[in-house]
Amino acid sequence: MSSWGLKNRLARIIKPQTGRTVMLAVDHGYFLGPTSGLEKPGETIEPLVQFADCLMLTRGVLRSSVDTAVDVPIVLRVSGGTSILKELSNEGRFTAIEDAIRLNASGLALSIFVGAEGERETLLNLAALVDEGEKYGIPVLAVTAVGKEMARDTRYLGLCCRIAAELGVHLVKTYYCENFEKIVNSCPVPVVIAGGKKVPEMEALQLAFNAVRDGASGVDMGRNIFQSEAPVAMIQAVRSVVHERATPEQAYDLYESLKNGS
């Protein structure tokens, strides 16, 4: 079976020019409901999308809130089925591969919860999704989460990333932590980082800088962009770190000048 399509889709997500990506994550509503900054997803996405290498979102928001003429690769979240009111790790699949194909997805994203109640089911769901992705030439991104009582450190995040890679994914999303290079070095597929909770802009730019310095292939960032005081300025500042190797200070200067319109 030819893997041309899969590689081509992956190259739409991770830009071959730099080997990196700025993914804009706007999928939070699938378990959080109307997250701050994403109450009207279409209004949030519209000014940002031109600066995103791809969008990570659910089919519901894609269909309702993204213009079909927008030329941006889509990484479609296909796992969920739980809310913040319940045990989050009990996720299942909520989008069939046929619908992902109809939606012209360039990638599929599914969460795994290592060390949590839903570990076995989410890992087997991931493996099944990889089989389907391979069949139709669509790469799979594993969104890694660890049990509530586990530290987000190299031991547990590294375990999670490596397991995802062993099950066959093409890309892993995890959190940045101390000694992050250990995670990258023990994971044979590209790793991107989530931004996490909103922090001051300089801190978020430092996080992105540290991650790519330590071997990440980019970011899959949401709240630190769309909850920023100036989201359009912030995504461009993040891009400068990821694609142009700007320092956090240079990127922050860019953020400030774009924010102030100078």
Which residues bind to ligand R5P, rule: CB under 6 A? Answer: 25, 27-28, 56, 143, 194-196, 220-224
* Residue 194 beta carbon to ligand R5P: minimum distance, rounded to whole angstroms: 4
The Cα–Cα gap between 75 and 172 comes to 12
Please, which residue, 117 or 137, has the CB nearer to ligand R5P? 117
The Cα–Cα gap between 54 and 39 comes to 20
Q: First CA to last CA across the chain, in angstroms?
A: 52
Please, which residue, 115 or 137, has the CB nearer to ligand R5P? 115
Q: Catalytic annotation on 198?
A: no
* Residue 173 beta carbon to ligand R5P: minimum distance, rounded to whole angstroms: 7
Q: Which residues of 74-85 are buried (b: 16+ CB within 10 A; e: fewer)?
A: bbbbbbbebeee
* Catalytic pick among 7, 15, 173, 182: 173
* Residue 118 beta carbon to ligand R5P: minimum distance, rounded to whole angstroms: 14
Structure tokens that stand for 186 in this block: 């023990």
Please, which residue, 5 or 39, has the CB nearer to ligand R5P? 39
For residue 237, give Cα distances in angstroms to 4, 245, 247: 33, 11, 10
* Residue 257 beta carbon to ligand R5P: minimum distance, rounded to whole angstroms: 24
The Cα–Cα gap between 15 and 23 comes to 11
Residues in a beta bridge with 193: 174, 219
* Residue 231 beta carbon to ligand R5P: minimum distance, rounded to whole angstroms: 12
Contact 88, 119 (CB under 8 A): no
Please, which residue, 145 or 246, has the CB nearer to ligand R5P? 145
Residue 215: how many CB atoms within 10 A of its CB? 15
Phi/psi of residue 132, nearest 5 degrees: -70, -40
Contact 127, 168 (CB under 8 A): yes
Please, which residue, 10 or 38, has the CB nearer to ligand R5P? 38
Catalytic residues: 173
